[in-house]
Structure 1
Amino acid sequence: MTTTSETWRPPTEFAEDLRERYGLECPPLWGTPRNPDRPSLGPKLWKVMTKLGAPPMPWQKYVTDVALELDPDTGVFVHREAGLSVSRQQGKTELILGLQVHRAMAWHRQNIVYAAQDRNMARQRWEDEFWEKISDSDLAKRARIRKSNGNEKILWPATRSRMGITANTESAGHGPPLDLGIIDEAFKHEDDRLEQAFSPAMTTRAMAQLWWASAGGTTKSVWLNKKRAIGRALIQEAWKTGVWPAVAYFEWFAPEDMPRDDPATWYATLPALGHTVTEAVIAAELAKMDPAEFDRAYLNRTRKPTPPSDPNVPKTKWPGLVDKTSKANGDVAFAIDVSQDRSRAAIAAACRRPDGKVHLEVVAYRPGTDWVVPAMAKLHRLWKPVAVAVAASGAPASSLIDDLVAAGIDVPKDKAKPERGDLAVMRSGDIIEACGQMADAMNQGTARHIDQVPLTAAVNGARTRRNGDAWTLDRTSSLTEVSPFAAATFARWALIIRGPHVLDDYDIADSFA
């Protein structure tokens, strides 16, 4: 049994085109494709990057070639905005520098403004990285620097263009019209003040572009998280409709079901790996960094707050129960659970292993509820389970009971003598009993699981509420959607409660060994 994944994937021809066109073996999960019917200034920018001592890598060629496409009829940029979400140490700084220098050298009187976390960080990068690389390159004789506080500029006398910096304030970008605005380290920006300041200054400039770039942030990275969500939605919709917006978007990202310690994950997520970054370096970073920070910096995931401990759910025991070789056998019990808002549902399985431990597994976890009854009916035919558990007592999944019965999964005719495959409709007392039993199994080490992301996330984010002197899982206060954990808990209960009735060789004591 395996968990159903809902992760977005672009069409295979997208990756094939990038490989053929740029030699890019690590395509983004979300990316605007190159339109070969349009000319592009990308190759000219590549020459500038080479002059600056950083010949472009395949991923940098792809991003700039697409972002600098020109409308063949008007000669202006197709994309007024370009968003770049890529992990640390991938060459983002070299791309941003090349972008600015190309702009300053290609057109006259260009006003280019760069912003980072704050003005101090922008100046540090502008002086210690941008100017240092320019002054050490073949382009040094074409530029000069002005370092006076508040009026920092890298000037290009031949074109009378200038590269400046700004602070992260509402007044940033006010003044002369803006030709190129760059918002770097976007994960540090908690609102859209810079975008709101830059955009009006670009309205009169036909070739103006706004670029933003960042590795993953945290839940406080409101602006970045919004831009990433918009970018993903635009790309997915454009692949459906064939209509591409005037916003170019590129994001390399490792979904949660890709293990952080697997080099295959790194090669699918880090486009500079094998070029300027080595596998050994990433392995060293993994060894020394907090896992959540490694995920943010190198897998481009959003770092979430560490869930507070719940005194009733022994989640610290959960990692010690992992056995990736564990698998279901023929004597399996299933359970169904539905999220409070009915946006997702889970089917989980539990079965007793030869060593007496109980194997737990999420069989399916998908959006909506319309798929649940057909999927459960198919599993019922294939596995002839011990039981199928569904919580009643006002639980969200209780609405599926009548449909399950109509699909041939019956309620026991005689409650004292249930038959194999019958529904196990759980009342309030049963749910309390199931939750207590699961906590005991975790504490006593009698459960085993294969470390599935939805189930582990549900365990880590689960919260509980009191019910008399006992407790149950609380969907409202839990920090994550807990239906995978609830389904696993109920499946284990169904196995233990129904097993003695329908399995001749069932020894309940083995489940507590």
Structure 2
Amino acid sequence: MTTTSETWAPPTEFAEDLYERYGLTCPPRWGTPRHPGRKSLGPKLWKVMAKLGAPPMPWQKYVSDVALEIDPETGLFAHREVGLSVSRQQGKTELTLGAQVHRAMAWKQQNIVYAAQTRGMARQRWEDEFWEKISGSDLARYARIRKSNGNEAILFPGKRSRMGITANTEKAGHGPPLDLGFIDEAFAHEDDRLEQAFSPAMLTRAMAQLWWASAGGTTKSVWLNKKREKGRELIEALFAALAEDPDAIRPRACYFEWFAPEDMDRADPATWRATLPALGYTVTEEVIAAELEKMDPAEFDRAYLNRTRKPTPPSDPNVPKGKWPGLVDAASRPEPSRVALALDVSQDRKGAAIAAASLRPDGIVHLEVVAHRPGTEWVVPAMARLHALWNPVAVAVASSGAPAASLIDDLIAAGIDVPKDKSAPLRGDLAVMRTGDITEACGQLADAINQGTVAHLDQVPLTAAVNGARTRRQGDAWTLDRTTSLVDISPLCAVTFARWALLIRGPHVLDDYDIADSFA
């Protein structure tokens, strides 16, 4: 789980403002809002893009308008850094080129450097795309190209400006002061060497900017993933500050990210319309549908939904994840009088889950994640409300050093008591699980999955936890391991504990409970 919630959304006024200003119907999930009191050179860049044969789309107008805001107090760019995370085929290249040409022609003696995955890739784009578009446009008379290896540049003699390329090395950007640095295809960069090379060269340039852009990467895209996480945090903090004070100080970096959370169906055109800002302009739904048909789903998610591609989880022999898809029952519902609840907290305490297990009339145990959210402060109040609403068979929570053990006293204070008589627990009492109970619960759920005696709704957090779960030895048995698992497994732990509580406490509080119903 990341430090910021993928379910976060900006206030509705943000989308309304973007539509009113630019006609943008696909706002980013995270995006710096336009400052109403600042002028911008964005419209100047739009004219350059139009002359290059690519009139800006609404999303490009928005990004460039914010990126080129002028601070009225200094007369300089308000943003020293511009971060852009958007899917493939959305017009990133046209915006990148337009920003470089605008810079080269707007001021004298501008040094602009562009970097991609490799120097070879940078040269290919620089020569085959950038120069082709410049030389075929009305701006061709202002530019010429120099192709000598190691000294490649598109030159603007009238302004004595140059657009060059560089490699992804520590020495990139060394030399003359740098006015504009572009790091393209940031997903391919596994460290920050390029940023560290560019930044010192910009120190003495008052109007310097660093732009980076990329579609989603993989777990190896360390630099991009760090930038995305920081960008999300920046935007969420900015909107929180603006809600308190419309004149709050804004950061010197701006950020824009279009993204589809995991709970959005990759095959649903509504997902594409909410994620692809060029849809209906330069790409169509038919094209995206064709891409979905031919591409690996994980790569489609990376390229077009801007999701980080994760490695295929290795199989853990103790978790029968191969049987999990066959247990999906979209129509399954809990039996209100036969529900047990449980909670669990992730190892890093960045998230938590509440789950339910319910014995259906047909003997199948319904498993469901009731809530899965960032943080832990919400868990006890939510469990108290569910306890009052459902009057569950029991509420299970792990102790024995588990992360959720810290919440036991708060649960008791909220009115969810431990049994006064352990041999005769009451409905709704806490079921505090010891090490042996947890090991037993894990084995029982694995058996139930293999035997087909459970059903689930194919909820994304739970299915992801099943696929990414790892286990460790516990004596001659095993238990789920939060530390080595590839994802947050609190949803899986919670349903495991809820099922255990249902089986263990059901006979004590349900007159018609037959434990044999829970086994094949």
> So what's the TM-score if we normalise by structure 1?
0.94
Q: Distance in 2 between matches of 1:201 and 1:413?
A: 70
* Identity value in percent: 82
Partner of 2:428: 421
Partner of 1:380: 387
- 1:207-252 per-residue CA deviation (whole Å, 9 max, x = no partner) reads 2211111111122212212222222222222222232112111111
Cα distance in 1 for residues equivalent to 2:39 and 2:391:
61
Counterpart pick for 1:313 among 319, 323, 338: 319
Asked if the contact 1:348/1:360 (under 8 Å) is kept, the reply is yes
1:313–1:140 CA distance, 2 compared to 1 (3 A): same
| Alpha-carbon distance in structure 2 between the residues aligned to 1:214 and 1:396 | 36
Partner of 2:142: 142
Kindly indicate whether residue 307 of structure 2 is the aligned counterpart of residue 301 of structure 1. Answer: yes
> How far apart, in 1, do the equivalents of 2:357 and 2:308 lie?
32
Distance 2:80 2:412 in 1: 56
Distance in 2 between residues matched to 1:483 and 1:72, nearest whole Å = 49
AA partner of residue 451 (structure 2): Q
Q: Does 1:178 align with 2:178?
A: yes
User: Aligned partners of 2:144, 2:406: CA distance in 1, in Å?
Assistant: 72
Give the 3 Å change call, closer, same or farther, for CA 287–511 of structure 1 in structure 2.
farther
Question: What corresponds to 2:244 in structure 1?
Answer: none
What amino acid maps onto 2:511 in structure 1? D
From 501, 505, 509, the equivalent of 1:498 is 505
SS of aligned partner of 1:141:
helix
Which structure 2 residues correspond to residues 77-476 of structure 1 after superposition, within 5 A? 77-241=77-241, 242-330=248-336, 331-476=338-483
Say if 1:182 and 1:407 are closer, same or farther in 2 by CA, change over 3 A.
Answer: closer
2:72 alignment counterpart: 72
Q: Deviation per CA, 1:454-483, whole angstroms, max 9, x where unpaired?
A: 222221221112223221112222222222
Quote how far apart the aligned CAs of 1:319 are: 2.2
Question: Which amino acid is the alignment partner of residue 463 of structure 1?
Answer: R
Q: Which moved more, 1:500-509 or 1:430-439?
A: 500-509
Task: State the AA in 2 paired with 1:104.
Answer: A
Partners of 2:354 and 2:491 within 8 A in 1: yes
My pick for the range that moved more, 60-69 or 495-504, is 495-504
- Give the 3-state SS of the residue equivalent to 1:99 in structure 2: helix
Whole-Å separation in 2 of the counterparts to 1:419 and 1:89: 60
Q: Structure 1's 75 and 367: CA in aligned 2 closer, same or farther, altered over 3 A?
A: closer
Q: Secondary structure at the match of 1:432?
A: helix
Give the letter aligned to residue 203 of structure 2. Answer: T
Runs (4+) off by over 4 Å: none
Q: 1:382 to 1:201 in 2, by over 3 A?
A: same
CA deviation after TM superposition for structure 1 residue 27, in Å = 0.9
Bigger mean CA deviation after superposition, 416-425 or 182-191: 416-425
1:340-396 per-residue CA deviation (whole Å, 9 max, x = no partner) reads 344433221011224332111111223444433332222111111122222233433
Secondary structure of the residue aligned to 2:517 is helix
Q: Which amino acid is the alignment partner of residue 181 of structure 2?
A: G
User: 2 CA distance for matches of 1:136 and 1:428?
Assistant: 72
Q: How many residues matched?
A: 509
1:508 corresponds to: 515
How much does 1:6 deviate?
7.0
One-letter amino acid of the counterpart of residue 264, structure 1: A
Q: Which AA in structure 2 matches 1:474?
A: D
Which amino acid in the other structure matches residue 227 of structure 1?
Answer: K
State the secondary structure of the residue aligned to 1:150: coil
Q: 1:399 to 1:50 in 2, by over 3 A?
A: closer
Secondary structure of the 2:190 match is coil
Looking at structure 2, the residues matched to 364 and 230 of structure 1 have their Cα atoms a distance apart, in angstroms, of: 26
Mapped to 1, the partners of 2:298 and 2:472 lie a distance apart of 28
Aligned residue for 1:487?
494
Q: Distance in 2 between the 1:279 and 1:39 partners? A: 36
Measure how far apart 1:93 and its partner are. Answer: 0.3
Map Cα deviations across residues 295-331 of structure 1 (whole Å, 9 max, x no partner). Answer: 2111112222222211100112222222333232302
Moved more, 369-378 or 432-441: 369-378
How far has the Cα of 1:42 moved from its partner? 0.9
In structure 1, distance between residues paired with 2:348 and 2:164: 49
Q: Secondary structure at the match of 1:378?
A: helix
CA-to-aligned-CA distance 1:83-137 (integer Å, 9 cap, x gap): 1111111100010111111122222222211111111000000111111112222
SS of residue in 2 equivalent to 1:65? helix
Contact 1:6 1:366 in 2 (8 A): no
Letter aligned with residue 27 of structure 1: P
2:6–2:261 CA contact under 8 A, matched in 1? no
Unaligned runs of 5+ in 1: none
Cα deviation for residue 175 of structure 1 reads 1.8
SS in 1 for 2:201: helix
1:401-456, CA deviations, whole angstroms, 9 ceiling, x for partnerless residues?
34433433333344444332222233333222211111112112222212222222
Task: Look up the equivalent residue of 2:378 and give its one-letter code.
Answer: W
Q: Provide the C-alpha distance between the structure 2 equivalents of 1:140 and 1:88, rounded to a whole number of angstroms.
A: 28
Q: Secondary structure at the match of 2:25?
A: coil
- The one-letter code sitting in structure 2 at the alignment partner of 1:215 is A
- Whole-angstrom distance in 2 between the partners of 1:301 and 1:248: 20
Contact 1:346 1:364 in 2 (8 A): yes
User: What amino acid sits opposite 2:395 in the alignment?
Assistant: V
| Map of 2:21 onto structure 1 | 21
Q: 1:101 corresponds to which letter in structure 2?
A: V
